[in-house]
Structure 1
Amino acid sequence: MDDQNKNLILAVVLSMLVIIGWAIMFPPPEPPQEQTTGETAIQGTDAPVAGAPTADAPAGDVANTTGATGTIGDLADAPRITIDTPNLQGSISLLGGRIDQLSLKGYRESLDEGADIVSLLSPFGSDNAFYALYGWAPGTGLGLDAVPGPTTLWTLESGQTLTPQSPIQLSWANDAGLTFHREIAIDEKFMFTVTQSVENTGGSTVALAPYGVLARHGEPEDMKNFFILHEGIVGFADGQLTETDYDDVTDYAFDPAEGARAEVTRVQESGWIGFTDHYWMATLIPDGGNAFKSVVKYDERRNIYQTETVQNTRQLAPGERVDVQSRLFAGAKEWATIRAYENEDGVVKFLDSIDWGWFFFLTKPIFALLHWLNGAIGNMGWAIIGLTLVIKLVLFPLAYKSYASMAKMRELQPQMEKLKEQCGDDRQKMQQEMMALYKREKVNPASGCLPILLQIPIFFSLYKVIFVTLELRHAPWIGWIRDLSAPDPSSLMNLFGLMPWGTPEPGSILALVFIGVMPIALGVSMWLQQKLNPAPTDATQKMIFAWMPWVFMFMLGSFASGLVLYWIANNTITFIQQYTIMRSHGYKPDLFGNIRSSFSRGAKSGDK
């Protein structure tokens, strides 16, 4: 291949890498949403209803007709109701009826023996407090003391432990004829159902609006802060998915109606809003078909991030009762579980709460296939190898033409070298002679680049899938590979476990230098695969390509083992395909770049 064509191909590949990398690291800004007020209008009147209160804002005692009072300081001593399901454990405080202690039974903080299970929600006063609150925003003629809020001390009516078979019932009554009930139910996985009810036994019509709040005190301590992963607020509103980083929320304009920096979205039909971490999520989900106000809020005085759903105001005449239902997802971002909530329980576009990225049209089907293969094989590592095989089979028709063309190009190398000697520095003549040679031999020099270009978005998509999805977390493969979402723990430093000393700290400089078994296997597989390709005629390009396998070996050494495994499998299958195709066309390559041909043309020009 002549220098100009080689430079062109190299430029195309590098340009694709730059464009894709730029799109991932610097996505275009989301279109600004229309700002609305933070008030909910009472149906049929011009009087406003205040939004949900800021979580745990200072307030005086809240009295009720039973004589019970509560303050935030009483939270540690307030009665609690145990949560016990196959997947969750925790408790609900009767002070505010808050869901504020929750851990995931099926997931541990690390692979170390005796590691703690993952904690998702924690109460006010603890480090990185994170909890859910429900209540009613008062309308005309009602004060804050007339409705249940964060400091209301509820009475347990029925149920001792919240399980999938036994919901709990809470109640509270004010001194103005309003009796409030709250039923909290939970399923086998991670979904709470909260039914809020109010009865008006007084003598006048009242107006009030039900709300749900998720409050997070400060940013999570274990944030990855990596450009490929979204951590922060995630929401869906009438067909529009939004992902907002924590630092973007702190830049919101101050909204007097909300009493904090806030952004308000009016949802007409369906939506949800909450906080997403790397692998865990908590989300407020009002019943579909009902309009509500979705709020993202930041109280900079107390460093509290808050998401809210405030449903439409209810007018309640004497003798009437109203029931409002909403859901709370609090758990692991398991693909199959979230998909079931979307497909079977009607949570619209809930699967988009997983960060599929800009290549969602690739990442979604890639993961769906990977999930199916894992279920069929029973091991995520072998599933990745199976996925690689499927991708290579899909691309095989294109690869066949490409490898056949590259085999011919490899055979033409001696003739290209002779033309270079004959033409000297006359690039125009060299170009003409090369094009004539390609035309005579029916070779397309660019055909070998197309599979490489197709591999680039696939590689990025698989990288996204392996890094983002929960299913690869702590997933073992073989032997020493116990976590496919983490780098290879073996190291050249201790001769891969033969020596008694330890290995470098993951992510350190030494870990990048003293790489493990899988990165070395990657470099070797890339070197073998490269040997079947025609070498560049330019000395500088030839040197660059010669060093590329070993550069990639160190570059990808700190990547997730699952991604390195895919790359090794891809290189190995590519080598087998290319070697087989070259043999079928009469070319006999060896591992040292030599090629022999059974054709008379190749016998003269290709043998060494």
Structure 2
Amino acid sequence: MSLMEKDMDVIKTSLILAIAITFYYLLLQWPQGSDMQANNIYEDNKRLSIDSSEYLQTKPLLQPNDTPSLSAMTEQETVEDVNVGGVVFTIENEDLILEIDGSNGRIFKSLFKGVKETLGSEKPLPLLGADNQNSYFANSGFFDDVKNSYIYPNFTKVVSAENDDGSVTYIFSGESEGLFLTKEITLAEQGYEIKVEDGIRSDGNRESTNVVPYAVIESESPQKKDLGFFSPERFAYHGPVFSTNQEKYEKYGFDDLLDESYSETSSGGWVAIIQHYFLTAWIPEQSNENKLQGRFTGSNQRFSVGYTGEKMYLQPGNAVFSSNTLYVGPKLPEQLSKIQADLSLTVDYGFLWWLGKPMYWLLNIGNSLFNNWGLAIIFLTVVIKLLTWPLSAKAYISMGKLRELQPKMALLQEKHGDNKQAMSQELMEMYKKEGVNPLGGCLPMLLQMPFFLAFYWVLLETVELRHSPLFWINDLSDMDPYFILPILNAAGMFLSQKMTPTPPNADPMQAQMMKVFPLVFAFMFAWFPSGLVLYWTMNMAIQILQQWWYSRKTV
């Protein structure tokens, strides 16, 4: 066997291994955290630690204005001298339902109107409070820095108001030890953005004090879910994320918090707990200095992520306020970037983000054109194949020339018989003379790999594909229920192999491996998300058309 032939065998073997490793890599569990979310709290010079039992009694507040800061009070409802403890208030917009504990203002449950819990169900998907009222919730308020304790408001009044822009504001108010406390929650007409403002005012008889604003997300220890091995949710990151001036997007998993708490000071920033397709995030005022923190409290088995703001000096008769934005919803890059530029980084496309972002952009264009995410995937595939056409064309032209040389190859094989070394040398000379690259047919497969990997991450992060149908497929984020796409893909691979000329000196072992490859792909793709298999199958179909077209031109 000649040196050149050996090099070709090495390259072929390496290509097969690279493809196998690529698919194995897709099955690895990438940065894993636990399965849910949580919170506790922190410190501002001192450690602010919130015990869950104590926290259930606490209630942050919102804006303490004599005149609520609403653009228009078109509708008002006041509950005079009534203790609203234990009362649950439900507010909603076109996309979101929130349940708020009237005794403390805690947002303990969220439901997504347009996102169903399971395929075919009419039950909205919960995020906050998915298991029970205390399992996962968000809160904000003030900490008394002098007394080293949380300020627990006793809300006795609730005011609701509709603003000119269609948003609805709820104001909870109450008094506690000479302090007037308010919590103002505003929900826009659409979307998942929640404006929260906490306020506190001291009466004239109380001593001056320092208060520290905080916001937190708290959850019980995550519960592992029973997921299929190929389920995209199995490979998606679940856990806390922090954004600071130094690190715009830092994953700090639940396992990390078990080992060591997180604490960083930053101007602006945000904290979040993300999971497959969804997230909960607190975004403070970006002009303020904030301490971002995360920890695990062993006594109540809870994780906490949140932040404390700058210390505020509260004088008798004066009021101070703290404003935040809470996001509870799906990972929608456009909405997230409008709230805070770096918040869209929670839509994580991995190390191939530079391919993933334009692919998602093309998907959106395709969906806007065809109003179907499955057709959008086909649109994306066609666009990518058009962009890579010039490179693929060279490979197919080389394959066509190789096909033309097959009669001469047969003569060489007949001439040299079992003398493979002499045959290989003469064959290589003929390739060189005719300007043919026998490995040119590998290029289309190599070109597909980065796009395939990038689209897998796009599929992991694109919530719009969840429960999106196409023809017989009910959910593009789940496997093909009838295995039609894996079978079509295997058939396409067999056909492509038949159309690809095989050199007479090809290694029989490699040839057998290539014949088995379509069956291996079919088995793997049977459990892969159908959206991903659709992308690969369309790629294969276009590749076959390209091969056929260029084989005609070279005949």
Normalization by structure 1: what TM-score?
0.77
Quote the offset at 1:455 in angstroms. Answer: 0.8
Matching residue of 1:264: 263
Which one of 480, 494, 497 corresponds to residue 527 of structure 1?
494
Q: What are the Cα deviations for residues 475-514 of structure 1, in whole angstroms up to 9, with x where unaligned?
A: 0111x21111111112xxxxxxxxxxxxxxxxxxxxxxxx
Question: Do 2:349 and 2:458's aligned partners in 1 also have CA atoms closer than 8 Å?
Answer: yes
Aligned residues of 1:249 and 1:296 also touching (Cα < 8 A)? yes
Indicate conservation of the 8 Å contact 2:265/2:292, yes or no: yes
Aligned amino acid, residue 174 of structure 2: W
1:248 maps to 256
Which residue pairs with 2:90 in the alignment?
82
Mapped to 1, the partners of 2:193 and 2:57 lie a distance apart of: 33
Are 2:127 and 1:120 aligned? yes
Displacement after TM superposition at 1:80 (Å): 2.1
Q: Distance in 1 between matches of 2:92 and 2:533?
A: 39
Q: CA deviation at 1:423?
A: 5.3
Question: 224-233 or 359-368, which moves further after superposition?
Answer: 224-233
Change (3 A) 1:542 1:20: closer
Q: What is the letter of the counterpart of residue 449 of structure 1?
A: C
Instruction: Report how far residue 14 of structure 1 moved.
Output: 2.1
Once the 2 structures are TM-superposed, how far is the Cα of residue 301 of structure 1 from its aligned partner?
2.5
1:401 aligns with 2:405: no
Matches of 2:286 and 2:16, distance apart in 1: 46
- Equivalent position to 2:283, from 282, 285, 288: 285
Q: 1:332 to 1:266 in 2, by over 3 A?
A: same
Q: Which secondary structure state, in structure 2, belongs to the residue aligned with residue 358 of structure 1?
A: helix
Q: Is the 8 A contact 2:95 2:191 kept in 1?
A: yes
Structure 1 residue runs without a partner (length 5+): 30-36, 42-47, 65-74, 254-261, 491-515, 588-608
Residue 2 of structure 1 deviates from its aligned partner by: 4.2
Q: CA RMSD in A?
A: 3.2
Structure 1 match to 2:68: none
Q: Does 1:144 pair with 2:149?
A: yes
Partner in structure 1 of residue 53 of structure 2:
56
Q: Could you say what secondary structure the match of 1:305 adopts?
A: strand
Letter in 2 for 1:103: L
2:11 to 3, 8, 12: 8
Q: Does 1:200 align with 2:202?
A: yes
Work out which of the residue numbers 105, 121, 135 in structure 1 matches 2:141. 135
| Equivalent-residue separation in structure 2 for 1:99 and 1:128 (angstroms) | 10
Whether 1:320 aligns to 2:328 is no
Match of 1:230 among 210, 215, 237: 237
Residue from 462, 468, 480 that aligns with 1:475: 468
Partner letter of residue 256 of structure 2?
Answer: D
Instruction: Encode CA deviations 1:370-419: one digit per residue, 9 max, x unaligned.
Output: 11101111111111111111111001001111100011123333434554
Q: 1:22 to 1:487 in 2, by over 3 A?
A: closer
Aligned to 1:307: 305
Q: 1:546 to 1:405 in 2, by over 3 A?
A: same
Partner of 1:466: 459
What's the CA shift string for 1:230-283, capped at 9, x where partnerless?
111123222431223333322x23xxxxxxxx211212x232112112122111
Q: Percent identity?
A: 29
Q: Residues 459 and 128 from structure 1, CA distance in 2 versus in 1: closer, same or farther, beyond 3 angstroms?
A: farther
Q: What residue is the counterpart of 2:484 in the other structure?
A: 517
Instruction: Give deviations 1:63-120, integer Å, cap 9, x for gaps.
Output: x9xxxxxxxxxx99612222121112232112221001221111112223x4421111
Whichever residue aligns with residue 99 of structure 1, its letter is: I
1:380 to 369, 373, 378: 373
Which letter does structure 2 place at the counterpart of 1:56?
S
Assess if the C-alpha contact under 8 Å between 2:84 and 2:157 holds in 1: no
Structure scoring higher RCO (CA < 8 A, sep ≥ 6) equals 2
| Cα distance change of structure 1 residues 354 and 56 upon mapping to structure 2, 3 Å threshold | farther
Distance 2:455 2:56 in 1: 50
The 8 Å contact of residues 85 and 155 in structure 2, kept in 1 or not, is answered as no
Question: Residues 52 and 137 of structure 1 are in contact (CA less than 8 Å); yes or no, is this contact kept in structure 2?
Answer: no
| 1:571 aligned onto 2:536 | no
Residue aligning to 2:38: none
What is the alpha-carbon distance in structure 2 between the residues aligned to residue 468 and residue 16 of structure 1?
A: 23
Partner SS, residue 298 of structure 1: strand
1:547 matched residue in structure 2? 516
1:290-439 → structure 2 map (5 Å cutoff): 290-333=288-331, 335=332, 338-342=333-337, 344-345=338-339, 347-419=340-412, 429-439=422-432
Deviations 1:355-379 (A, max 9, x none): 3122111111111111110111111
Preserved CA contact (<8 Å) 1:128 1:218? no
Given the superposition, is the C-alpha separation of residues 577 and 366 from structure 1 closer, same or farther in structure 2, using an over 3 Å criterion? same
CA contact (8 A) 2:102 2:155 kept: yes
**SS of aligned partner of 1:440:** helix
- Report the residue type matching 1:40 in the other structure: D
3-state SS of 1:349 partner: helix
The residue number in structure 1 matching 2:21 is: 18
Q: Which amino acid aligns with 1:88?
A: L
Query: Which one is further off, 423-432 or 305-314?
Result: 423-432
Alignment partner of 2:341: what SS?
A: coil
**Residue pair 2:221, 2:301 contacting (<8 A) in 1 also:** yes
Change (3 A) 1:205 1:20: farther
CA contact (8 A) 1:231 1:276 kept: yes
Q: Deviations over 1:560-588 (max 9, x none)?
A: 11111112211111111111112112x2x
d(CA) in 1 for partners of 2:486, 2:26: 27
The residue type paired with residue 184 of structure 2 is E
> Given the alignment of the two structures, is residue 182 of structure 1 paired with residue 183 of structure 2, yes or no?
yes
Aligned to 1:39: 43
Give the letter aligned to residue 307 of structure 2: T
Q: Residues of 2 paired with 1:544 and 1:414: CA distance?
A: 25
> Is residue 173 of structure 2 the alignment partner of residue 171 of structure 1?
yes
Task: Classify the secondary structure of the residue corresponding to 1:359.
Answer: helix
* Amino acid aligned to 2:498: K
Q: Distance in 2 between matches of 1:83 and 1:228?
A: 34
Asked if 2 retains the 8 angstrom alpha-carbon contact of 1:281 and 1:331, the reply is: yes
Q: Distance in 1 between matches of 2:295 and 2:185?
A: 25
CA offsets 1:189-212 (integer angstroms, 9 cap, x no match):
111111112223345331111001
| Partner Cα separation in structure 2 for residue 86 and residue 360 of structure 1 | 31
Aligned length: 513
**2:480 corresponds to:** 488
Length-normalised TM-score, structure 2: 0.84
Whole-Å separation in 2 of the counterparts to 1:307 and 1:524 = 50
Structure 1 residues 127 and 427: CA distance shift in structure 2, 3 A:
farther
Letter in 1 for 2:489: L
Deviation at residue 320 of structure 1 after TM alignment: 3.0
Indicate the SS of the match to 1:463.
helix
Could you tell me whether the CA contact under 8 Å between 2:374 and 2:469 is conserved in 1?
yes
- Could you tell me how far apart the structure 2 residues matched to 1:351 and 1:315 are? 34
Q: Does the aligned pair in 2 maintain the 1:40–1:51 contact within 8 Å?
A: yes
